[in-house]
Chain A
Amino acid sequence: MSEANPPLETTPAASSLTLQQLSRLQPTKAPRTLWGDAWRRFRRHRMAVAGAVIFCLLVIMVAVGPLIYGGDPRKIDFGKSMLPPSLEHPMGTDDLGRDMLARVMLGGRVSLSVGVAAMLISITVGTLIGAIAGFFGGRMDSILMRITDLFLALPVVPLLLLLIFLFRDTLRRALGPETGIFVLIVFVIGILNWMTVARLVRSSFLSLKEKEFVEAARALGVTEPKIMFKHILPNALGPIIVAATIGVGAAIITESVLSFLGLGFPPDVPTWGRLLYDGQNFLDFAAWMVLFPGFLIFLAVLCINYVGDGLRDALDPRSRL
C-alpha cells in the first residue's frame, strides 16, 4: 500500500502542470460541444433559420394574438357578412359576419397543438417500441417488428376517417365536445404514425448497444432501463429530433385533411382545415375565407419542413467537421 502512495502524491502536481500548459494553449473561445456544433451548422442553413423564425412568429401570433386583438371569433353579425379584408377586419369576415383574423388565430391554436400533441404520441410510442426491440433483440424484437410491419401496411387515411367517424360521438359525450374530438384526433393520428420512428430508433439501438460505453455501464452495474434511456437514447436523439420535426408538419396536414373532409373538428372549433372546409363553398365571392387559413397551413408546414431539413444537416454525424 505504502509503495503505491508515492506515485499518487506526484499526480496533483503533474496534472496542475498540464492544466497550466493547457490553459495557455486554450483558445479564447469557449470549447466546442456537440450541440454547439449542431447549432453552428443549423445557422448556416439559411432557409432553415428563416423557417424557424417565421414559425416562432406564427406560434406567438396564435398564442398571444387573441389576447391583444379585439375581434371576437364567435360573434355573429349578419350585417357584416362576407366583408373583404379592411382595416377593421384585416382578414375579412365569413358568411356569418364573424371576424376571420380572430377565427384564424383561434384555429391556429388548435391546428398547431394537434400537430405537436400527435407528434409527441407517435415519438413516444415509436421510441419505446424501437428501443425495446433494438435493445433486447431476439424474440421480443421479431414480435415488435412484425407489429410494426402490420401497422405500416395499414391503410392509414381510410382508417383515420373510419375511426374518427365511428368514435367521435362517444368521445364527445364522454369528454365534452372540444376535448373529446381533440383527444380522439390526436390519439388516432399519433397511433398510426409511430412506425418509422420505431424503425429508426431500433436501428440506432442495435448498433449503439454493442459500443464500449454500454459495456462499461453494464460493468458498473447500471440497470437496464437506465442504460437504455440515460446512456443509449441521448446518442440516438439526432434522427428522433428530425423525425419529430417532420412529424409535426405531417400531423398538421393530416388534421386539416380530416377537417377538410368533414370528419375532423366540429363547426364550432375553427381549425385551419375546418375554416377551409367552411370557406370552399364561398370560393367565388369570398375567396379570403379560403386564402388566409390555407396559406397559413402551407406556411407553417413549409417552415417546419425547412427546419427539419436544416436539423437533418446539423445533426447528421457524418457531416460533422
Chain B
Amino acid sequence: MGPKQVVHMGRYIIRRILFAIPTLLGISLVIFAVLALAPGDPLAQFAADPSVPPEVREQIRVSLGLNDPWYIRYFKWLGALMRGDWGFSFAARVPVIELIGQRLPQTLQVIGLAYIISICLAIPIGIISAVKPYSAFDNIATTFAFIGFSVPTFFTGLLLILIFSVNLRWLPFIYNSTLEVTDWNSFWQQVKQMIMPVTVLALYQTGTLTRFVRASMMENLPMDYTRTARAKGLNERNVILWHVLRNSMIPVATLIALGVPTIFTGAIVTEQIFRINGIGELLIRSIQNSDTPVVMAITFIFAVLVVSFNLIVDVLYGVLDPRIRYE
C-alpha cells in the first residue's frame, strides 16, 4: 500500500467515523423516545411504596429531572454522556458506569472464549468441507452446522444442564460469579463452570461460521488464479492454504467482526440460563425493574458495538482487499 493509498484510506476512515456519529445520535434518540413515550412511570416502585410520602416522591422526580419534557431530558442525558456521566441506577443506587464495570468482565470472559473457540473450529472445518465437497466429512459437518444454527441457545443450554449437571453431576449448573481464581483448585472450578456456557455460544457461532467459510472457499476454488497456481506446479496444499484461503478469508474476517455484536446478544440468553451475573442479566433485570438509566446505557453500548464493528468491517475490507480503492 503506497503513501497515496494511506492518505485516501485515512480520509475514508474519517468520513466513515463522521457518518457513524449521526447514526449513533439517531439510535440514542430512538431508544430515548421509546423509553420516554412509553406508558408507565420509572418511579412506579416508589409510587407503590406507601412509606414514601408524596412530597418526597415529588422531590425525587424534580431532582432526577423527570418533570421536564422528554426532549429536554434527552439533551441533558446526551450532555452528561459527553462528560462521561452515564447516570445513576434507580435500583442499585450506584453510578451506572460502575455497575456495568462490575458486570462486563464476566460477559467478556465467556463470550470472548466462545468466539475464539468457534473461529478456531470453523475455519479448518470449513476448509476441509470445501476442498472435499459432498464427502462424508462435508455431509457430517453440514448437518452439524445446520443443527448448530437451528437449535435455540436456551434449549442447548438446558440440554447440557440436564446431561452434565442433573444426570452425570460433572458440572455445576449455576455460575458462581464470586469465585476468585487464586490457585489450581479454584482455576479448575472456574474452567468447569465455564464449559457449558461457552459450549452453548460456541456451537451456534461455529455453525454459522463454518457454512460461511465453506461458501467463501467454494467461490474461490474455481477461480483462474487457482488454476494458474496449480499450473505453475505448486502442490495442492500450498494452493489451498496460500492462494485460495487468503482470498477466502476477506469476507470471513468481516463476518467475524460483524458477529461480535450478535454474540453479545447471545450472552443475554446464556447468562439467563446459567445465572451468570454479566451485562445481559443486568439488562433483563433492569428492564423488569424499570431502571431506565441502566437500560438506556446498556442498549446504547450495544448500539455503539454494532456501529463500531460496522466501521471496523469497512476499514478491514480496505486493508485486506487491495482491489478496493477509496477515491
Distance between A46 CB and nearest chain B CB, rounded to angstroms: 11
- Is the beta-carbon distance between B152 and A155 smaller than 8 angstroms? no
Cβ of A162 within 8 Å of any chain B Cβ, yes or no, is yes
- Is the beta-carbon distance between A158 and B162 smaller than 8 angstroms? no
- Is the beta-carbon distance between A158 and B298 smaller than 8 angstroms? yes
A156-187 near B? 1/0 per residue, CB < 8 Å: 11110111011101100000000000000000
**Contact A305 B150, CB 8 Å, known A155-B306, A261-B272:** yes
**Contact A162 B158, CB 8 Å, known A157-B268, A284-B166, A302-B150:** no
Select the stretch in A26-34, A91-99, A120-128, A290-298 that faces chain B. Answer: A290-298
Cβ of B326 within 8 Å of any chain A Cβ, yes or no, is no
Q: Which residues in window 168-217 of A have CB below 8 A to B? A: 169-170
Q: Which residues in window 262-293 of A have CB below 8 A to B? A: 262-263, 273, 276, 280, 283-284, 287, 290-291
Distance between B164 CB and nearest chain A CB, rounded to angstroms: 12
Kindly report which residue of chain B lies nearest to residue A170, judged by CB atoms. B39
Cβ of B108 within 8 Å of any chain A Cβ, yes or no, is no
Cβ of B104 within 8 Å of any chain A Cβ, yes or no, is no
Query: Which residues of the partner chain A approach B307 to less than 8 Å between Cβ atoms?
Result: 153
- Is the beta-carbon distance between A167 and B284 smaller than 8 angstroms? no
CA distance A165 to B34 in the complex (A): 11
- Is the beta-carbon distance between B38 and A306 smaller than 8 angstroms? no
CA distance A130 to B155 in the complex (A): 35
Contact among B152, B288, B299, B310 for A159, CB-based, below 8 A: B299
Select the stretch in A4-12, A72-80, A252-260 that faces chain B. Answer: A252-260
Query: Which residues of the partner chain B approach A260 to less than 8 Å between Cβ atoms?
Result: 152, 154, 269, 272
Contact among A163, A249, A257, A287 for B166, CB-based, below 8 A: A287
Cβ of A301 within 8 Å of any chain B Cβ, yes or no, is yes
Contact among A166, A169, A294, A297 for B159, CB-based, below 8 A: A294
B118-138 near A? 1/0 per residue, CB < 8 Å: 000000000000000000000
Select the stretch in B22-30, B47-55, B71-79 that faces chain A. Answer: B22-30
* Residue total for B at the interface (Cβ-Cβ under 8 A): 44
Query: Which residues of the partner chain A approach B256 to less than 8 Å between Cβ atoms?
Result: none
- Is the beta-carbon distance between A150 and B150 smaller than 8 angstroms? no
- Is the beta-carbon distance between B310 and A153 smaller than 8 angstroms? yes
Tell me if B's interface is mostly helix, strand, loop or mixed: helix
Kindly report which residue of chain A lies nearest to residue B266, judged by CB atoms. A157
Query: Which residues of the partner chain A approach B24 to less than 8 Å between Cβ atoms?
Result: 153
B8-28 near A? 1/0 per residue, CB < 8 Å: 000000000000000110110
**Contact A294 B158, CB 8 Å, known A166-B35, A261-B272:** yes
- Is the beta-carbon distance between B31 and A159 smaller than 8 angstroms? yes
- Is the beta-carbon distance between B288 and A165 smaller than 8 angstroms? yes
Kindly report which residue of chain A lies nearest to residue B261, judged by CB atoms. A155
Query: Which residues of the partner chain A approach B288 to less than 8 Å between Cβ atoms?
Result: 165, 262
Cβ of A149 within 8 Å of any chain B Cβ, yes or no, is yes
Distance between A215 CB and nearest chain B CB, rounded to angstroms: 32
Q: How large is the interface on A (under 10, 10 to 19, 20 to 34, 35 or more residues)?
A: 35 or more
Q: Which residues in window 30-46 of B have CB below 8 A to A? A: 30-31, 34-35, 38-40
CA distance A185 to B150 in the complex (A): 21
Contact among B40, B146, B283, B284 for A302, CB-based, below 8 A: B146
- Is the beta-carbon distance between A287 and B154 smaller than 8 angstroms? no
Query: Which residues of the partner chain A approach B155 to less than 8 Å between Cβ atoms?
Result: 276, 290, 294-295, 297-298
CA distance A257 to B303 in the complex (A): 20
Contact among B272, B303, B310 for A154, CB-based, below 8 A: B303
Distance between B19 CB and nearest chain A CB, rounded to angstroms: 9
- Is the beta-carbon distance between B34 and A163 smaller than 8 angstroms? yes
Contact among A170, A249, A261 for B284, CB-based, below 8 A: A261
Q: Which residues in window 145-162 of B have CB below 8 A to A? A: 146-147, 149-155, 158-159, 161-162
CA distance A294 to B24 in the complex (A): 37
Query: Which residues of the partner chain A approach B146 to less than 8 Å between Cβ atoms?
Result: 47, 302, 305-306, 309
Query: Which residues of the partner chain A approach B310 to less than 8 Å between Cβ atoms?
Result: 153
Query: Which residues of the partner chain A approach B202 to less than 8 Å between Cβ atoms?
Result: none
Query: Which residues of the partner chain A approach B238 to less than 8 Å between Cβ atoms?
Result: none
Kindly report which residue of chain A lies nearest to residue B307, judged by CB atoms. A153
- Top 7 A-B residue pairs of the complex, sorted by shortest distance between their CB atoms: A155-B302, A166-B38, A294-B155, A302-B150, A157-B265, A301-B150, A158-B299
B interface residues with partner A (beta carbon < 8 Å) = 23-24, 26-27, 30-31, 34-35, 38-40, 146-147, 149-155, 158-159, 161-162, 166, 261, 265, 268-269, 272-273, 283-284, 287-288, 295, 298-299, 302-303, 305-307, 310
A–B pairs, 12, beta carbons within 8 Å: A157-B265, A163-B34, A165-B288, A170-B39, A261-B268, A262-B284, A276-B154, A280-B158, A297-B152, A302-B150, A305-B146, A305-B150
